[in-house]
Structure 1
Amino acid sequence: QGIDALIHTSESPIGIQIKKETYRSEARGESRFLRRQRGTALIEVPYTLQRPEELEERSRRARVNRETYLLWAKVAQHLDRLENGFVIFRESYVKSIELFLQKNAPTLSGLIHWERVAQEALTAP
């Protein structure tokens, strides 16, 4: 629940937490970083081990959370996977996150959940 990177903007530092796909609500909670650094933001940058096709198939079968699976599929399209299971962020993903930060840095505060980051960063024109 710590941070993986700290970016200093003109407003305040923004923590980056690389967030693996999870559907468990108990996996979410306030970060120690945010408790110590009031007035700053922590953004969750999501990744998944699943392939886009698998997530799209799950969205077709889902009775609930269809949009969540489709959002994860969108994230998965910006990832490469090595044979040993490692996940690599494509340059397009990093650039999308960078643009999200540039656009929103002055207004970010508190925990910025992965859904917002993925939705805004990956669907921007």
Structure 2
Amino acid sequence: MNNLIATTDGAIGVGTARRRTLPVTLDIRTEHLKTTSTTGTTSAEAGLRITSGRIVVSKLDYRPTTPRTAVPPGNYTAHTYATGFDTISDDRIDGNDTYHVVLWPGPIVEPHVLKRYPHLPIPG
């Protein structure tokens, strides 16, 4: 929970600082861009094996009508980062936090934090 990233076979969970539907940007690349590792207020990386050629970005919604994004099957590295934690209200209802996932063909790496926001507001 404190790292805002978790993995299981075929899935990456990106934690959020608020329990709301929040903006997430998915950026699929053909190669790693080193500039992403210091962007945002918190960032992490993890590996993902995609076998179906499709990924879902969703708040635990896997219905057939949920949009899928086509990607070539294979191993990927995902870099997640979030910004705007300093805009979140004390009751954690309002804020301008945003979440970004960059995905590129790469090794399956264990989830690890690259940069941590010093006062991460964990949802309660």
| TM-score band, normalised by shorter chain | under 0.3
Larger fraction in helix: 1
TM-score, normalised via structure 2 length: 0.24
